[in-house]
């Protein structure tokens, strides 16, 4: 499906807003940016009723062990994360040459790089998978600026100048992109050349590309191609996960390669195993995941009610 085009009367003001926002955040100390982002997030919590309701519904069904007071605390922290996320993404639109690369290098770190090096050394390519914890654009940048360039599978944005700016920022930190829906030739070519290809596994993916597997106790449609693709090509299956520390440093953790086996060939079993790994990471850093996103579309909650029935 082609990306929806933005009307020109919206694109022009958006360019001005994003450019000014990029310049503004570039001048902020990281501690100030963290505080301002938290304030903006709390403001959004007060005014964005739709996203607040979605987050509350997701948390209520996915985290039944939390008390109402604990869920309220998590909800506030989650919206503070959204505010910080918006300001971090604004750095992409700073017009100062090289700013995005300098900023990500200054405010990020990586652990487990030996796992990435070992996976690459096998020469069959690497399929990394991750989740939308913290800031996914920084996740790619951390690897790219530390000697691990990769190609991420994603969607195009509109208008064209927005897509061009995001592409330029990604290339600045060693990240290319393969755009849905026809990404498989690019992925196969990259793996054949021993490169790293990246996917997010915590989004809703409709059948037939998606299969229903458990995620927070809910059978929900999830990307199912990675296991069979790793089995077919011999590529390493590598979990990469991110979180933002309280001091604002964004930490990328590269886990060991998943052990190879016949389970990879089964799209349901392989997706179930990878989703369980992603869920465990989200549970470690629940405030930094996208609870306000309609992740569980076309599913049924554990109590038998349809998800998002009122929307």
> For residue range 98-127, what is the model confidence (pLDDT) as tens digits?
999 999 999 999 999 999 999 999 999 999
Residue 140: inside a domain: yes
CA distances from 77 to 22, 61, 171 (A): 24, 18, 32
Range of 15's domain?
A: 8-288
Beta pairing class for 236-244 and 250-254? antiparallel
Query: Dihedrals φ, ψ of 130, to 5°?
Result: -145, -175
Could you please report the per-residue DSSP string of 81-147? HHHHHHHHHHGGG--STTHHHHHHHHTEEEE-HHHHHHHHHTSS-EEEEE--SS-HHHHHHHHHHTT
Tally of domains within the chain: 1
Residue 293: inside a domain: no
Neighbours of 165 (CB within 10 A): 20
Q: Which stretches in the chain have pLDDT values below 50?
A: 1-3
How many degrees, rounded to 5, is the angle at CA 105 between CA 129 and CA 165? Answer: 75
Collect all residues with Cβ–Cβ distance below 8 Å to 25 and sequence separation of at least 6: 33, 87, 88, 90, 91, 94
Residue 134: inside a domain: yes
pTM of the model: 0.91
Q: Name the nearest CA neighbour of 89 among 137, 159, 51.
A: 137
pLDDT at 194: 96
Residues in the chain: 311
For residues 130 and 290, what is the distance between their CA atoms, to the nearest angstrom?
13
3-state secondary structure of 55: helix
**For residue range 262-276, what is the model confidence (pLDDT) as tens digits?**
999 999 999 999 999
Residue 311: inside a domain: no
Q: Dihedral, CA atoms, 79, 80, 86, 87, nearest 10 degrees?
A: 170
Residue 3: inside a domain: no
Residue 52: inside a domain: yes
pLDDT at 1: 41
Residue 245: inside a domain: yes
pLDDT at 181: 76
Residue 301: inside a domain: no
Rg from Cα positions in the chain: 19
pLDDT at 287: 98
Q: Which secondary-structure segment (H or E) carries 152?
A: strand 150-154
């Amino acid at each position: 499906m082609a990306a929806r085009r933005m009307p020109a009367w919206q694109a022009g003001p958006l360019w001005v807003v994003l450019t000014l926002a990029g310049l503004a955040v570039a001048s902020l100390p990281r501690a100030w940016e963290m505080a301002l982002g938290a304030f903006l997030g709390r403001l959004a919590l007060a005014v964005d009723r739709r996203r607040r309701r979605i987050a509350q519904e997701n948390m209520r069904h996915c985290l039944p062990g939390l008390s109402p007071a604990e869920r309220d605390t998590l909800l506030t922290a989650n919206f503070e994360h959204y505010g910080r996320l918006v300001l971090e993404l604004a750095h992409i639109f700073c017009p100062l040459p090289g700013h995005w690369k300098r900023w990500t290098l200054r405010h990020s770190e990586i652990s487990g790089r030996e796992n990435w090096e070992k996976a690459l050394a096998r020469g069959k390519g690497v399929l990394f998978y991750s989740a939308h914890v913290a800031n996914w654009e920084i996740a790619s940048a951390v690897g790219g600026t530390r000697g691990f360039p990769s190609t991420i599978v994603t969607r195009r944005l509109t208008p064209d100048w927005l897509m061009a700016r995001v592409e330029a920022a990604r290339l600045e930190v060693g990240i290319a992109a393969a755009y849905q829906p026809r990404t498989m030739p690019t992925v196969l070519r990259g793996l054949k050349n021993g490169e790293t290809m990246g996917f997010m596994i915590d989004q809703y993916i409709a059948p037939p590309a998606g299969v229903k597997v458990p995620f927070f106790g809910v059978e929900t449609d999830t990307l199912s191609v990675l296991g069979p693709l790793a089995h077919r090509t011999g590529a390493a299956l590598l979990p990469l996960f991110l979180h933002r520390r309280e001091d604002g440093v964004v930490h990328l953790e590269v886990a060991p390669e998943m052990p190879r086996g016949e389970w990879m060939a089964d799209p349901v079993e392989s997706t179930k195993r990878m989703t369980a790994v992603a869920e465990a990471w989200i549970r470690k850093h629940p405030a930094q995941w996208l609870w306000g996103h309609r992740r569980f579309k076309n599913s049924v909650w554990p109590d038998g009610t349809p998800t998002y029935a009122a929307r």
